[in-house]
Structure 1
Amino acid sequence: MIRTQVEIDPVIGLAGFNAVRRLQADYAWALDLKICVFPQEGLLNYPGTEELLHAALA
């Protein structure tokens, strides 16, 4: 198993998360990839971050 962290924030949005999800699907035959999303700039510092976190967790 591999665990990776993916940053989310209103500037980046879910771009990195979506890219890692594609890798997760493409290499599911070879590895178990766990994704940990986190708001590097803080959960409450920028409007929209909490919504992005909810979207990624869904």
Structure 2
Amino acid sequence: MTSSAFCAPFFDSRRMIRSIKEQGYSLGRKRVYRLMGKMGIAAIYPTPRVQQASPGDQGLS
């Protein structure tokens, strides 16, 4: 599991399962999720971009 995590750090638990099954192992999603948390592995994903007002903006009024 560690080699899959380091080769593809953007994998979440569901994609990690697919990768592990392709290697010939059988694990459940909850087990993979628990092991990822225990090992400190987290998927890298884009964060939401919240629109922020410019310093000179006064709003709608």
Q: Is the TM-score greater than 0.5?
A: no
State the TM-score bracket (shorter-chain normalisation).
Answer: under 0.3
TM-score under structure 1 normalisation?
0.27
Q: From the CA coordinates, give the structure whose radius of gyration is larger.
A: 2
Higher helix share: 2
TM-score under structure 2 normalisation?
0.27
Higher strand share: 1
